[in-house]
Chain A
Amino acid sequence: MEASMESSDGVDGGTMGKIDLWHGDPSVVDLTNRVHLLPCVVKHDGPCPISHYFKPRKSDLVCDGLAVEEAFFRGRKLQGVTVSIPEGYRGYVLAKKKLTGGSDMEANSWVSNAEFQNITYWNHDGLPSKQDPLTRCFQWFAVADALHEPITKEELAFASAAQDN
């Protein structure tokens, strides 16, 4: 299946992009339970023996119904929880699509090579909670749905009637 994304950029005056999501393809790597979001930037891009060094373990703490895990990175103690990506949504790992030619469209072409259904995010100093930005991000889905819902005739009539009054 191929989905495409278009976006416009107010500064540049409009660009086009394309993302191929190989949804349902059995060859796509499933990274569920393996995606971690750390509260830091690691200036490294490449393979890394994570499972030999990064050893999350269960703690006795529970926060907003989620089991808190503990891990250490570079001497810092991290506390994290694993949150599911809401129903109907999915996480993707994108890579630049290799294309020949050089149009703008091709320069902004991406392909997903892995997917995930949950993410473990880690806080430094402070327990994870429902107030964390990542958890609250998911609220956008409901707002976006409401914003993009087509307006029915009745609603329009109701709104204009309200304005007339």
Chain B
Amino acid sequence: MGSSPIPKWASRPCVMGIDEAGRGPVLGPMVYGCLYCPLSYQKALETLNFADSKTLKEEKREELFDNLKANASIGWEVDIIDPRELSAKMLKTEKINLNEISHNSAIGLVRRVLGMGFLLSEVYVDTVGDAEKYRNKLSEIFPGIKFVVAKKADSLFPVVSGASIVAKVTRDRALRGWVLDETAENMHNKFGSGYPGDPQTKAWLDHHKHLVFGFPTLVRFSWGTCTPYLKDTVEVLWECDALAEDSTNNGSSKRQVKLSKLGFIGCKRKSEDVESSGKGRCKFFSARKLELVTHFK
């Protein structure tokens, strides 16, 4: 995404930093960014005044991002993970947690930069989860690269600080220019920072809450901070959740009773005869979820 034609230094040993922006916010994309340069340029990198992006003002970050984009000895890439994708993965029946999503994104960036023809010899990563396990995982996939995985890597290594600026500026720009999928009236883009503690974010969430749909898809439904807002919306029961509970509860879970009350599984049945009635039904019908209905509701 970043660099134009591949520079000469690509075949020299390179160092890369990886960092993320937008992991905590309740809305918007999560962005993984990386910055890479020849090992021999590392000293010069220290003079560019990169610092952990969180400690910098927005204008300063934008300025540093413009500088590094113009710098011929630096390359960069980003991976923008859509909030819809984040929610969907975390709410699937086979749930993928945020750490795994993060790891996969970082692995994807390493793979991409290698694929472009850069000789990566050292990669510095801000940790997600246990640093040692994460380092082992990365080393196993990319045995030729030396990985340094550390807490607060973004303030320890300039190459990671640079990556944090790439990620943060990309996330801010993506959120600023976000076009909501939803077309209902009175929607606006004053999201604030997206952090659940931000009054502007809270106000936006309150204003955009919908009884049936919950929130616009910009919001990460899988975040715990959403739950209090969703409490007074219409209840939605998922088939897969009912099945999951079913298998742990041996067939007569509360949820299934609720579903059957709604005419979803059967018609007017009591919980105790759900199973026997199912057994009586010909396999041809039960496999197709077909049932003789004598009373509509």
Residues of A within 8 A of B (CB): 7-9, 12, 15, 17, 39-44, 48-49, 51-55, 72-77, 94, 108, 110, 124-125, 133-134, 136-137, 139-140, 143
Contacts and interface: CB of A to CB of B under 8 A. Distances in A.
B221 interface: yes
A7 B181 contact: no
Nearest to B234: A44
A53 B284 contact: no
Contacts of A17: 294-296
Given A76-B91, A108-B296, 16 more contacts: A7-B294, A8-B294, A9-B294, A17-B294, A39-B238, A39-B239, A52-B183, A53-B184, A54-B213, A75-B88, A77-B85, A77-B88, A133-B287, A136-B287, A137-B288, A140-B284
A48 B87 CA distance: 23
A20 B9 CA distance: 78
A53 B182 contact: yes
A52 B180 CA distance: 11
Given A9-B294, A72-B84, A110-B296, A40 B184 contact: no
24 contacts: A7-B294, A9-B294, A12-B294, A17-B296, A40-B238, A41-B237, A41-B264, A42-B212, A44-B212, A44-B234, A51-B183, A52-B183, A53-B210, A72-B87, A75-B87, A75-B88, A75-B220, A76-B87, A76-B91, A76-B92, A94-B296, A108-B296, A137-B289, A140-B284
A98 to B, nearest CB: 15
B217 to A, nearest CB: 5
B235 A43 contact: yes
A136 B283 CA distance: 13
Contact of A108 (B213, B221, B237, B295): B295
A41 to B, nearest CB: 5
Interface of B: 84-85, 87-88, 91-94, 181-184, 210-214, 216-217, 219-222, 234-240, 259, 262, 264, 284-285, 287-290, 292, 294-296
A133 to B, nearest CB: 4
A115 B100 CA distance: 46
Contacts of A94: 296
Contacts of A139: 288
Contacts of A73: 213
A126 B27 CA distance: 26
B93 A55 contact: no
A7 B284 CA distance: 21
A9, A17, A43, A108 pick with most chain B CB within 10 angstroms = A43
Contacts of B216: 53
A74 B221 contact: yes
A8 B292 CA distance: 10
A74 B236 CA distance: 9
Contacts of B217: 72, 75
Contact of A42 (B94, B182, B219, B234): B234
Given A41-B259, A55-B181, A124 B288 contact: no
Contacts of B262: 41, 43
Contacts of A41: 236-237, 259, 262, 264
B93, B183, B288 pick with most chain A CB within 10 angstroms = B288
Contacts of B84: 72, 75, 77
Query: Nearest 7 pairs between A and B by C-beta?
Result: A75-B221, A77-B88, A75-B87, A9-B294, A52-B184, A53-B213, A44-B234
A75 B214 contact: yes
A41 B257 CA distance: 13
Contacts of A9: 294-295
Contacts of B214: 74-75
B93 to A, nearest CB: 5
B91, B213, B220 pick with most chain A CB within 10 angstroms = B213
Contacts of A49: 184
Contacts of B234: 42-44
B220 to A, nearest CB: 7
